[in-house]
Amino acid sequence: MIRISKAGRKRKIGVSREKNGRAQRVYVDPKQQVSEQPHRVVVPVEFRKFPEAESEFGRLMLLKRITPAQCEAGRAYATLASQYLAAKGYPPVTPQAMNLGGIRGGIGSEIPAHVVKAISVRYNKAFESIGGQRAQKAVAYYAVRDMKIEKDGELELLCCGLNDLVKHFGIDPKLQITHSHQ
């Protein structure tokens, strides 16, 4: 009788394993692990689990450098800018991973002309509502592209542009943070 043995070393008894043979990872509190990530540590503890802590622009609000209304206006403008770029056929400002399953052929992939025009009109009105070219650039750079503020005076320009967008979008300037992450 021939005895066949498995190759490799014996595994410890009692440790549950993943399909690939590694010891299974145990997360006691995944939200705690997320809140301890390096980019979230700069935010006050009570805000670290908020989704806004994931982006530079969101962290500006959580650090109280911009108001929640300004943050909402910036996100609305960023969404509108990405729709505008997609409608015009430009690549997205913040590229994401390629979705090979979502690639379609040329059939049905064009946006109708009236939709492109409507998006363009909405975007142009929002863009023109921002007073001053420097404020427009600051909003594009920090709200749309989600870059970190490193230059003096840029926060003031960003706030001026965001205040104009708050008025344009009709957002209540007294808007407050209302997340219930327990």
Per-residue model confidence (pLDDT) at position 21: 75
Give the SS3 label for residue 129.
helix
pLDDT confidence bin for 22, thresholds 50/70/90: confident
If one counts the domains in the chain, the total is: 1
Please check whether residue 71 lies inside any domain of the structure.
Answer: yes
Lowest model confidence (mean pLDDT) among 95-104, 152-161, 165-174: 95-104
Per-residue model confidence (pLDDT) at position 39: 64
* Alpha carbon distance 87, 133 (integer Å): 24
Lowest model confidence (mean pLDDT) among 43-47, 60-64, 67-71: 43-47
Please check whether residue 8 lies inside any domain of the structure.
Answer: no
User: Regarding predicted confidence, which is higher, 32 or 50?
Assistant: 50
User: Regarding predicted confidence, which is higher, 182 or 66?
Assistant: 66
Please check whether residue 157 lies inside any domain of the structure.
Answer: yes
Query: Per the structure block, which two tokens stand in for 45?
Result: 């503890």
Mean pLDDT of 161-178: 91
Please check whether residue 29 lies inside any domain of the structure.
Answer: no
Backbone angles phi, psi at 163, to 5 degrees: -60, -40
Residue 73 host element (H or E): helix 68-88
Domain residues for 150? 66-93+111-169
Please check whether residue 177 lies inside any domain of the structure.
Answer: no
CB atoms within 10 A of CB 10: 6
Q: What is the pLDDT of residues 63-88, one digit of tens each?
A: 888 999 999 999 999 999 999 998 88
Structural contact between residues 28 and 20, judged by C-beta atoms closer than 8 angstroms: no
3 pLDDT higher than 50: yes
Q: What is the pLDDT of residues 100-153, one digit of tens each?
A: 555 444 444 678 889 999 999 999 999 999 999 999 999 999 999 989 888 889
Nearest CA to 74 out of 137, 151, 158 is that of 158
User: Regarding predicted confidence, which is higher, 88 or 47?
Assistant: 88
Please check whether residue 180 lies inside any domain of the structure.
Answer: no
Please check whether residue 129 lies inside any domain of the structure.
Answer: yes
